[in-house]
Amino acid sequence: MGRPPSRRSRLTAVYVFVQLAERPDFRGEPPEHEPFVDSLVERQLVLLGGSLGSDAAAYVLRCDSLAAARAVVAEDPLVSSGAMTATVTAWDLVGVDLRLVEPDLVVGS
């Protein structure tokens, strides 16, 4: 008898950690970001996200591929405007304990 497949081998999606960092050379007002985030929620692409202080942010995407995630990040108005740079990293997510997520943070349920 073989071993049952691991959780990771059953995954059909790619999880991607996106870290945004302010570009110090950017001049001007950064574009609105909330409508973009709302669109990620509507498209069921974002697992979580938030600010990392006043000059950085991060979010985790769930996409079909790393290339698809990069395309989503390219749509981010903070990135496309040049206000922020994005580092996109595939994340070998091993688990999520939803019992630890505060109910007020859950959207789309």
DSSP per residue, the chain: -PPPPPTGGG--SEEEEEEEEE-TT--SPPPP-HHHHHHHHHTT-EEEEEE-SSSEEEEEEEESSHHHHHHHHHH-HHHHTTSEEEEEEEE------GGGS-GGG----
| Residue 97, pLDDT score | 82
Structural domain contains residue 1: no
Tokens of 108: 């789309």
| Nearest to 14, CA basis, from 56, 70, 52 | 70
- Give the tens place of pLDDT for each residue, 57-102: 999 999 999 999 999 999 999 999 999 999 999 998 888 888 888 8
Structural domain contains residue 70: yes
27 or 9: which leads in pLDDT? 27
pTM, 2 dp: 0.84
Q: At 38, which CATH number?
A: 3.30.70.1060
- Give the tens place of pLDDT for each residue, 38-58: 999 999 999 999 999 888 999
Structural domain contains residue 109: no
* 10 — pLDDT class (breaks 50, 70, 90): low
Work out how many domains the chain is built from and give that number.
Answer: 1
Structural domain contains residue 102: no
Structural domain contains residue 40: yes
User: Structural domain of residue 23, as residue ranges?
Assistant: 12-91
| Residue 37, pLDDT score | 93
| Residue 2, pLDDT score | 53
